Amino acid sequence: MSVTYIDAIHQALLELLEEDPAVFLMGEDIGGSFGGAFKATKGLEERFPGRVINTPISEDAIMGAGIGAALGGMKPILEMQFADFGTLAQNQMGNNAAAHYYRTGIPVNVTLRMPCGGTPGGGPFHSQSLEALFAHYPGLHVLTPATVADAYSMLKQAVAIPDPVVFMEHKFLYRWLKADTWLDPDPLPIGRARIARPGRHATVVAFSAMLPEVLKAAELLAPQGYDIEVVDLRSIKPLDTDTLLASVARTGRLLVVSEDFPYGGVAAEVVARVTAQGLHLLDAPPLRLSSRDCPIPYHPDLWRAHRPGADAIAAAAKHLISY
């Protein structure tokens, strides 16, 4: 029997509640039979009375209460119903949670679960990929799991980090991405990228829901004689520059694919780091491939045209290799 990405998150939450009495959950409509907008917490309130707490529709208040609880020794896991509206908690995240240890020496152990990214029909208010926005703040960890096993293991690792963590869960992956198990016998630590597919002609870097698209693109290119190495970032802050440089040293070429908007995005940061530290490794100018620099459309066909897909990624990789 296969398990899904959302199954892995549910299982991690269940185990965290079982293992540590300091862990509790807060969010909009996460309790009772409803179990949250995406059902990640369904059934948990019945098993853990008083530790799965419904909140008002105020992301700022959710984050503020979470910071206070963390300072009192608890380990709150907060669900922002959509990452788009997590921006309403940005003052609390950046100016309070992220800076608190620097100012006082007291850590803020709070984990923010952020359903992010696009789905067909989601439109401009429920589909954004805002990882770079949150990663801008010193003191915040920003994690972007792209596999079922990482959704499970990285969430458990996130709560063990004494600092605030933004855990970006891509909504498209929730029920589409499946695996035989959520268990990885040897999970990577936070901050370590993964070689998802070895290759020799070009390094293509991805994270979150772009990883499956990049792997599809690599399969499309293989019969044509192109051997693509795929790097799954897993974590964008901290960012594993060493793995990126080692991959580019093998291939001599770099393409970074992301679903976020192009200006000031994660792809730009990856290109900047590799260029600054490994320009001598590159045989061609590095490329970025991001979503279009416009609000995300509602219509499913326009949505697919807005974000990078396997065909566009394959075309960009071929262009890069032909340089």
Residue 1 has pLDDT above 80, yes or no: no
Q: Which residues of 135-171 are buried (b: 16+ CB within 10 A; e: fewer)?
A: bebebbbbbbbbbbbbbbbbbebbbeeebbbbbbbbb
Alpha carbon distance 42, 215 (integer Å): 32
* Mean pLDDT for the stretch of residues 180-198: 95
What's residue 32's pLDDT? Answer: 84
Q: Are 148 and 175 in contact (CB under 8 A)?
A: no
**Structure confidence by residue, pLDDT tens digits, 14-30:** 999 999 999 999 999 99
What's residue 33's pLDDT? Answer: 81
Whether 280 is a known active-site residue: answer: no
Q: Which of 311, 302, 313 is nearest to 127 (CA)?
A: 302
* Three-state secondary structure call for residue 231: strand
Q: What's the mean per-residue pLDDT of the chain?
A: 97
**Could you tell me the pLDDT band of residue 69, with boundaries at 50, 70 and 90?**
very high
**Structure confidence by residue, pLDDT tens digits, 207-232:** 999 999 999 999 999 999 999 999 99
Full set of structural domains in the chain with CATH: 3-179 (3.40.50.970), 194-321 (3.40.50.920)
Alpha carbon distance 168, 316 (integer Å): 26
Going by C-beta distance under 8 Å and a sequence separation of 6 or more, which residues neighbour residue 21?
none
Of 10, 126, 141, 170, the active-site residue reads 126
Whole-structure pTM value: 0.96
